């Protein structure tokens, strides 16, 4: 049996009396796209925050490629090859799109105690950054301040930054949120292209995207995983239909 | 940092450079002292701009590092060590060390707590200086000017002036490079969005601490020069109001522009010098109430002059977010 890319064992997180993550067990296989779906407030973002190290878990264990990362800081996890994107766009608003990505490249290029040479003229940062931007479809938007990008472009920049850290595991929190139809389709194509090279944990409300991309799906309700399985299995699952998907339509999942 | 800032820097430095011949020409030695003082405070303000403007660290006790630098010179001179080649490195080393210690503790907090804790540390050293009877307590102590093995005569006003000038120019150039370097990108991006920095893999604390220490070191240099200028050191240099004044210089001049704080220091010290005189002309005893005018000027600059004096010279729409537009 191959080792799980990410192993989650008995993970818990409460906010006061509210249980956001409730004794979660989950193995993410290397190279798979594992979608996590669930209604608003199910604890999806909280889980991403725990996995990325932004939030400290109350209990449980997270291992990444066989390594216990439960008490590791966010930067340390990132250095191991774990990257995330944010549901609420989190970019460097006052930097150009290119500089945003170049910063992500720089993060993986050793320490940054270099005080002399201008970073913005360094091809070792600029070239990979340009490449990442082009790959995501922002090739001609590099010089635009991130704040002036459209919402959809900012969402793309989110992903470009995560990719530029050359991660093996991507935690994507609703990458298509608020995107137009074409942008969404482009994103689906992109994620499809990443498959194989990257393990992806995908949180997404767009069910078309989820069922098109996911190898497996976990359904989260009130912090609990009520089902995990292949898309067809999930679609057919009685408990899932009752709790979440609604009886008649598998694409109706309510608002984002 | 852009082309415009470089031009403004070059013009400003050129103006500083021609002050000594002008003061000789017009026989106004007072101005030599005045502009020497301005440049020293400019060094302090520029160092604060590194962490405040570029790093977003609102250090409210920055004058303490001037104090450390000044006291290092004063205390060494008290023990008969007048050699500047020993005094200046030690002054900067001491400020670096204190910066490292204070920074290490302060940077564990953020927001208003950071402001308060940096202020508290500064006050701590202020009261420590007051309690040092051996070194004059709150009366302060006199300090001979440094000796540089006969290379520079610090009692020669013009030579001393150009030493300060060289320090300011060097500090501006080094920080200009630093801000654009990989390190500078990390500092600026941490100010912009620290959570994102963590997420893409930067342990930001160590970079912020390094920046904080560098700022303290440079401010220590300003302090060492300040002790020389006054031939005197007292706890007042570390008083929180002095920290506040340095911060006002940064904001007045244009935060995050490096050269702006130099303009801010100039404007602040010139206003402080001449506002009382001007007010005396307008009304009797007006000079005593100069702060009544100074206050609103500062508030107006903060409220309406986004970008400070620097923005008056830089073309519009070049500040902040729209910088690369
Ligand atoms: N920092 C927090 N403090 C208190 N409650 C929180 C916090 N973050 C999330 N929650 C709560 O935890 C639950 C799960 O939230 P979240 O993980 O954002 O859900 P999802 O991403 O699935 O919509 C929600 O009820 C939310 O209100
Ligand atoms: Mg969410």
Lowest mean pLDDT among A43-47, A77-81, B155-159, B311-315: B311-315
Residue B41 has pLDDT above 90, yes or no: yes
3-state secondary structure of B181: strand
pLDDT of residue A249: 46
- Average of per-residue pLDDT values in chain B: 92
Residue A251 and residue A175 share a domain:
yes
pLDDT of residue B278: 83
Task: Give Cα separations from B170 to A43, A131, B43 (angstroms).
Answer: 53, 37, 10
Q: Is A80 on the interface with B (CB under 8 A)?
A: no
Q: Which two tokens stand for residue A207?
A: 């069910």
Which one of A117, A143, A166 terminates a domain?
Answer: A166
Residue A220 and residue A111 share a domain:
no
Residue A141 domain-assigned (yes or no): yes
| Cβ–Cβ under 8 Å, residues B247 and B301 | no
Residue A77 and residue A173 share a domain:
yes
Residue B194 has pLDDT above 90, yes or no: yes
Q: Which of B5, B185, B191, B210 to mutate to test the interface with A (most CBs of A within 10 A)?
A: B185
Average of per-residue pLDDT across B130-154: 93
pLDDT of residue B169: 98
Residue A240 and residue A121 share a domain:
no
pLDDT of residue B45: 98
Q: Which residue of B has its CA nearest to A90?
A: B196
Q: Is A95 on the interface with B (CB under 8 A)?
A: yes
Q: Is A212 on the interface with B (CB under 8 A)?
A: no
Confidence tier at B323 by pLDDT (50, 70, 90): very low
CA distance A112 to B178: 11
Residue A250 and residue A202 share a domain:
yes
What percent of chain B is helix, strand and coil (3-state, nearest 5)? 80, 0, 20
Residue A250 has pLDDT above 90, yes or no: no
Shortest distance between the Cα of B315 and any Cα of chain A, in A, equals: 18
Residue A29 domain-assigned (yes or no): yes
Residue A36 domain-assigned (yes or no): yes
Residue A127 has pLDDT above 50, yes or no: yes
Is 3.30.1540 the CATH number for B3-324? Answer: no
Of B184, B207, B325, the CB nearest to A145: B325
Average of per-residue pLDDT across B147-172: 95
pLDDT of residue B117: 97
pLDDT of residue B321: 38
Residues near ligand 1 (Cβ within 6 A): A 15, 18, 20, 38, 40-46
Between the CA of A254 and the centroid of ligand 2 the distance, in Å, is 14
Contact A117 B199 (CB under 8 A): no
Residue A250 and residue A187 share a domain:
yes
Give the model confidence (pLDDT) of A221-231 as tens digits. Answer: 999 999 999 99
Average of per-residue pLDDT across A93-98: 97
Q: Which two tokens stand for residue A250?
A: 């598998």
pLDDT of residue B225: 98
* DSSP E strand boundaries for B202-242: 232-233
Q: Which two tokens stand for residue A13?
A: 């997180």
What does the DSSP 8-state code read for residue B52?
Answer: I
Residue A151 domain-assigned (yes or no): yes
Task: Give Cα separations from A12 to A20, A187, A228, B123 (angstroms).
Answer: 8, 31, 18, 44
Residue A127 domain-assigned (yes or no): yes
Residue A255 and residue A174 share a domain:
yes
Residue A174 and residue A152 share a domain:
no
Residue A56 and residue A179 share a domain:
yes
Q: Is A104 on the interface with B (CB under 8 A)?
A: yes
Task: ipTM value, please give it.
Answer: 0.92
Chain B residues whose beta carbon lies within 8 Å of the beta carbon of residue A119 = 180-182, 184-185
Residue A76 and residue A4 share a domain:
yes
Residue in the structure block whose two tokens are 């004794």: A23
To test ligand 1's pocket by mutation, which of A12, A18, A38, A225 has the most ligand atoms within 8 angstroms of CB?
A18
Average of per-residue pLDDT across B313-322: 51
- CB count in 10 Å sphere of residue A22: 16
The percent of residues above 70 in pLDDT, for chain A, comes to 94
Lowest mean pLDDT among A191-200, B37-46, B274-283: B274-283
Average of per-residue pLDDT across B283-290: 75
Shortest distance between the Cα of A161 and any Cα of chain B, in A, equals: 8
Q: Minimal CA–CA distance to B98: which of B59, B134, B133, B136?
A: B59
Q: How many domains does chain A have?
A: 2
Contact A112 B178 (CB under 8 A): no
**DSSP string for chain A:** -PPPSEEEEEEEEEETTEEEEEEEEEEEPTT-EEEEE--TTSSHHHHHHHHHTSS--SEEEEEETTEE-TT--HHHHHHHTEEE--SS----TTSBHHHHHHHHHHHTSS-----SSBGGG-HHHHHHHHHHHHHHT-TT-TTSBGGGS-HHHHHHHHHHHHHHT--SEEEEE-TTTT--HHHHHHHHHHHHHHBTTBEEEEE-S-HHHHHHH-SEEEEEETTEEEEEE-HHHHHH-HHHIIIII-SS-SS-----
Residue A234 and residue A182 share a domain:
yes
CATH of the domain at A233: 3.40.50.300
3-state secondary structure of B141: strand
Residue A28 has pLDDT above 90, yes or no: yes
Contact A93 B193 (CB under 8 A): yes
| Cβ–Cβ under 8 Å, residues A199 and A247 | no
**Which residue's C-alpha comes closest to atom 2 of ligand 1?**
A15
Q: How far apart are the first and last CA of chain A?
A: 37
pLDDT of residue A255: 38
CA distance B300 to B294: 10
Give the model confidence (pLDDT) of B72-115 as tens digits. Answer: 999 999 999 999 999 999 999 999 999 999 999 999 999 999 99
Q: Which two tokens stand for residue A22?
A: 């409730």
Angle between helices B157-180 and B204-230 (to 10 degrees): 170
Average of per-residue pLDDT across B8-21: 96
Confidence tier at B283 by pLDDT (50, 70, 90): confident
pLDDT of residue A196: 82
Which one of A166, A191, A216 terminates a domain?
Answer: A166
Confidence tier at B293 by pLDDT (50, 70, 90): confident
Residue A121 and residue A196 share a domain:
no
pLDDT of residue B219: 98
Residue A130 domain-assigned (yes or no): yes
Average of per-residue pLDDT across A133-139: 92
Indicate the pTM of the whole model.
0.92
Give the model confidence (pLDDT) of B198-249 as tens digits. Answer: 999 999 999 999 999 999 999 999 999 999 999 999 999 999 999 999 999 9
Chain B residues whose beta carbon lies within 8 Å of the beta carbon of residue A114 = 181-183
| Cβ–Cβ under 8 Å, residues B216 and B98 | yes
The whole domain housing A105 covers 92-166
Q: b/e for A128-152, b at 16 or more Cβ within 10 A?
A: bbbbbbebbbbeebbebbbbbbeeb
CA distance B121 to B216: 13
Q: Which residue of B has its CA nearest to A99?
A: B185
Length of chain B: 325
Chain B residues whose beta carbon lies within 8 Å of the beta carbon of residue A96 = 324
CA distance B74 to B97: 18
Q: Which residue of A has its CA nearest to B187?
A: A112
Contact A90 B199 (CB under 8 A): yes
């Amino acid at each position: 049996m191959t080792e799980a890319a990410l192993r989650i064992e008995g993970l818990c997180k409460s906010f006061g009396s509210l249980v956001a993550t409730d004794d979660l067990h989950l193995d993410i296989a290397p190279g798979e796209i594992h979608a996590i779906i669930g209604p608003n407030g199910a604890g999806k973002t909280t889980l991403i925050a725990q996995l990325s190290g932004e939030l400290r878990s109350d209990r449980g264990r997270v291992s990444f490629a066989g390594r216990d990362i439960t008490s590791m800081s966010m930067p340390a996890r990132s250095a191991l090859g774990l990257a995330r994107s944010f549901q609420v766009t989190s970019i460097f608003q006052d930097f150009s799109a290119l500089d945003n990505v170049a910063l992500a490249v720089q993060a993986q290029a050793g320490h940054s105690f270099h005080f002399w040479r201008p970073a913005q003229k360094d091809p070792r940062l600029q070239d990979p950054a340009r490449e990442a931007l082009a790959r995501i479809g922002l090739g001609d938007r590099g010089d635009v301040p991130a704040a002036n990008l459209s919402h959809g472009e900012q969402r793309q920049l989110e992903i470009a930054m995560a990719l530029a850290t050359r991660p093996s595991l991507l935690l994507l929190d609703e990458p298509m949120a608020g995107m137009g139809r074409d942008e969404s389709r482009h994103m689906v194509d992109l994620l499809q292209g990443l498959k194989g090279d990257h393990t992806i944990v995908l949180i997404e409300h767009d069910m078309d995207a989820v069922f098109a991309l996911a190898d497996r799906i976990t359904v989260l309700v009130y912090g609990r995983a009520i089902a995990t399985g292949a898309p067809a299995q999930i679609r057919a699952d009685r408990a899932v239909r009752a709790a979440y998907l609604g009886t008649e339509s598998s694409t109706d999942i309510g608002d984002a | 940092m852009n082309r415009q800032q470089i031009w403004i820097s070059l013009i400003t430095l050129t103006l500083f450079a021609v002050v000594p011949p002008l003061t000789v020409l017009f026989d106004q030695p007072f101005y030599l002292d005045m502009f020497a003082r301005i440049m020293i405070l400019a060094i302090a303000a520029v160092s604060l701009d590194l962490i405040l403007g570029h790093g977003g660290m609102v250090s409210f006790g920055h004058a303490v590092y001037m104090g450390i630098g000044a006291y290092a010179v004063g205390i060494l001179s008290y023990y008969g060590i007048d050699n500047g080649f020993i005094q200046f490195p030690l002054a900067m080393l001491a400020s670096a060390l204190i910066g490292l210690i204070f920074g290490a503790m302060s940077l564990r907090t953020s927001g208003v707590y950071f402001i308060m804790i940096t202020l508290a540390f500064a006050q701590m050293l202020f009261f420590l200086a007051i309690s040092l009877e051996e070194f004059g307590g709150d009366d302060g102590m006199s300090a001979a000017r440094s000796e540089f093995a006969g290379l520079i005569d610090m009692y020669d006003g013009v030579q001393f002036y150009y030493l300060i000038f060289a320090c300011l120019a060097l500090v501006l150039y080094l920080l200009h490079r630093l801000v654009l370097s990989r390190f500078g990108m990390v500092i600026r991006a941490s100010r912009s969005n620290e959570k994102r920095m963590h997420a893409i893999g930067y342990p930001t604390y160590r970079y912020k601490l390094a920046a904080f220490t560098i700022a303290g070191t440079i401010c220590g240099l300003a302090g060492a020069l300040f002790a020389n200028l006054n031939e005197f050191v007292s706890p007042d240099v570390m008083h929180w109001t002095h920290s506040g004044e340095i911060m006002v210089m940064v904001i007045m001049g244009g935060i995050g522009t490096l050269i702006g704080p130099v303009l801010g220091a100039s404007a602040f010290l010139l206003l402080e010098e001449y506002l009382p005189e001007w007010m005396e002309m307008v009304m009797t005893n007006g000079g005593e109430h100069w702060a009544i005018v100074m206050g609103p000027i500062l508030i107006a600059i903060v409220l309406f002059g986004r970008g400070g004096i620097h923005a008056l010279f830089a073309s519009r729409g070049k500040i902040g977010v729209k910088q690369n537009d």
